[in-house]
Amino acid sequence: GGIGSTVIIGYLVMLVPSFFISPGLIGKVFGAQNERAIRWGTATNGIVQLFFALIPVFIGISAFAAFPGLTRADLALPTAMKEMMPFTISTLALAAIFAAEVSTADAVLYMLATSVSNDLYKRFLNPSISDTNLLKLSRVITLVSGVLGVLFALKLSSIISALTIFYSLMSVSLAAPLVFGLFTRRASNAGAILASVCGVTLTLFCTFYKGAETVNLFVGVLDTRTMLVDFGFTKLNATTCGILLAFVTMALSLVLLPSRKPALEEVPVGYEAKAL
Amino acid at 262: P
C-alpha to C-alpha distance for 270 and 275, rounded to whole angstroms: 9
Q: Where are the alpha helices (DSSP H) in 67-188?
A: 76-84, 87-114, 131-155, 159-183
Half-sphere exposure of 154 (CA within 13 A, CB side): 6
Q: At what angle do helices 87-114 and 131-155 cross, to 10 degrees?
A: 130
DSSP category for residue 13 = H
Q: What is the pLDDT of residue 18?
A: 80
What torsion, rounded to 10 degrees, do the Cα atoms 17, 18, 21, 25 define?
-130
The tens place of each residue's pLDDT in the chain, 276 residues long, gives 566 777 888 888 888 888 778 777 777 788 888 989 989 988 898 888 888 888 888 888 888 899 988 888 778 888 888 888 899 998 998 898 889 888 878 878 888 898 899 988 998 899 999 999 999 999 999 999 999 988 988 888 777 777 788 888 889 999 999 999 989 999 999 999 999 999 999 999 988 887 777 788 878 888 877 778 888 778 888 888 999 999 999 999 999 999 876 555 554 544 444 443
Residue 215 contacts residue 221 (beta carbons within 8 Å) = yes
* Domain segments of the chain as ranges: 1-31+159-276
What is the residue-wise DSSP string for 242-256?
Answer: HHHHHHHHHHHHHHH
Q: What is the pLDDT of residue 263?
A: 53
The set of residues, in sequence order, having a beta carbon less than 8 Å from that of 259 and lying 6+ positions away, is 185, 186, 187, 188, 189, 191
pTM for the full model?
0.75
Q: What is the pLDDT of residue 109?
A: 87
How many C-beta atoms lie closer than 10 Å to residue 15's C-beta? 15
C-alpha to C-alpha distance for 203 and 248, rounded to whole angstroms: 14
Residue 90 contacts residue 81 (beta carbons within 8 Å) = yes
Query: Nearest Cα to 246, choosing from 171, 174, 181, 195?
Result: 195
Q: What is the pLDDT of residue 126?
A: 93
Q: How far apart are the first and last CA of the chain?
A: 53
